[in-house]
Amino acid sequence: MTTIAVTFAAVAVTLHAAHQLGDHIIQTDTDAGNKAAPGRHGWRHVLVHVATYHLTALVMLAVTAWLLHLPITATGLTAGIGFSAATHAVIDRRWPVRWLLNNTGSAAFADRQTPICGMYLADQSLHYGCLWVAALLIACL
């Protein structure tokens, strides 16, 4: 297995774990409840969330890279974390997720609350797709 593939695998697993902590444990109720609010108020809360989320990811990536001797470059890390931060902020404003579902034939899924919340599942799916891209950037650059 190539070094890039091993780095990608380790980074992807780490970003997945960091996502769970950053989105579900570290994020405050206040930020979660206000990040989709209109204007500056919403942007302030989403940016605080994105900052604490990515600080969590950076700490976990640093530990992983150090313990596993991963060849992560500053360019790769900047590109991957930058991509993750930008996409996370946009996704968490919620309206882009609803727009996507409404315009891809999934409007009913967007409105579904039980037995699952369609918007939440779509939000998480988009985050995981973006984390995959971020892991590729970190591993390949």
Q: Provide mean pLDDT across the span 79-86.
A: 98
Q: Are 56 and 26 in contact (CB under 8 A)?
A: yes
Q: Are 138 and 80 in contact (CB under 8 A)?
A: yes
Query: pLDDT tens digits, residue range 90-118?
Result: 999 999 999 999 999 999 999 999 999 99
Name the band, by pLDDT with cuts 50, 70 and 90, for residue 127: very high
Q: Using omega within 30 degrees of 0 as the cis cutoff, is the peptide bond preceding 115 cis?
A: yes
Paired tokens of 91: 């996704």
- Cα–Cα distances (Å) from 110 to 24, 36, 113, 127, in that order, read 21, 15, 8, 16
Query: pLDDT tens digits, residue range 8-29?
Result: 999 999 999 999 999 999 999 9
**Alpha helices by DSSP H, 69-115:** 74-91, 95-102, 107-111
Name the band, by pLDDT with cuts 50, 70 and 90, for residue 77: very high
pTM over 0.85? The answer is: yes
Q: Are 76 and 140 in contact (CB under 8 A)?
A: yes
Query: pLDDT tens digits, residue range 27-54?
Result: 999 999 999 999 999 999 999 999 999 9
Dist CA 14 CA 65 (whole Å): 10
Predicted local confidence at residue 1, as pLDDT = 62
Paired tokens of 8: 């990608």
Name the band, by pLDDT with cuts 50, 70 and 90, for residue 2: confident
Predicted local confidence at residue 10, as pLDDT = 98
Closest CA relative to residue 87, chosen from 15, 37, 34, 11:
15
